[in-house]
Amino acid sequence: MTRLHLVRHGPTHAKTMVGWSDLPADLSDKAAIARLHDHLPPNAVVISSDLSRAADTASAIQGARRRLPHHPDLREINFGTWEMRGFNEIEAEDPELVFAYWDNPGDVRPPDGESWNDVRARVDAVIDGLIADHTGRDLVIVAHFGVILTQVQRALAVDAQEALSHRIDNLSVTDITHHGNRWSVGRINHCP
């Protein structure tokens, strides 16, 4: 049994589509950071995306836990040409594509970006490797909205649209357990 504690990074306060852009996290809420640190298993192994908002959040909650190197395949969705643009601007440009991307996630891609299925395959491969290397351990994985929801989708065996209906707040924890041949989901979007 391997337990995944999927933590969403601290807020960026951006009001645009932020995927692979390396924006810093606001980690000024020391009380929330302390609660998150104390909530997580003390003997867990910590890993994060290589984007600073996730890496810095991981550093803030790490404490004495063992830390693995940042992993670029734990990055958020690559939004391509939609990156750092507002939803209304993107929708005005190509409303049908935007609707298809969010309403029927799967193989639809933003221009020069990733589809939901691309992200899911990328993240599944990293998670599978982590489970193989750390079977029976607690893993704290500090990542992004999309990354966390790919694993919610996987564990609940639901479609992408249903997975995307879940809220994942900054500095929240989603607990998923791998039992060898099956998955179980604990709390989703728990804010300690």
Percent of the chain with pLDDT over 90: 97
The Cα 17–Cα 23 span in angstroms is 11
Give the mean model confidence (pLDDT) for residues 8-23. 96
pLDDT of the residue at 146: 97
Of the candidates 179, 178, 170, 175, the one whose C-alpha atom is nearest the C-alpha of residue 188 is 175
Q: Confidence band (pLDDT; 50, 70, 90) for 89?
A: very high
Q: Which pair of tokens denotes residue 33?
A: 């950071």
pLDDT of the residue at 104: 87
Q: Degrees (nearest 5) of the Cα angle 136, 51, 28?
A: 95
Res. 78: pLDDT tops 90:
yes
Which domains does the chain carry? Answer: 2-185 (3.40.50.1240)
By CB neighbour count within 10 A (0-12 exposed, 13-18 middle, 19+ buried), where does 10 fall? Answer: buried
DSSP string, the chain: -EEEEEEEPPP----S--SSS-PPP----HHHHHHHHHHS-TT-EEEEBSSHHHHHHHHHHHTTSEEPPPBGGG-----GGGTT--HHHHHHH-HHHHHHHHHS-SS---TTS--HHHHHHHHHHHHHHHHHHTTTSEEEEEE-HHHHHHHHHHHHT--HHHHTTS---TT-EEEEEE-SS-EEE--SSB--
The Cα 124–Cα 54 span in angstroms is 18
Q: Confidence band (pLDDT; 50, 70, 90) for 62?
A: very high
Residue 45 dihedral angles phi and psi, to the nearest 5°: -95, 135
Q: pLDDT by residue (tens digit) across 111-133?
A: 999 999 999 999 999 999 999 99
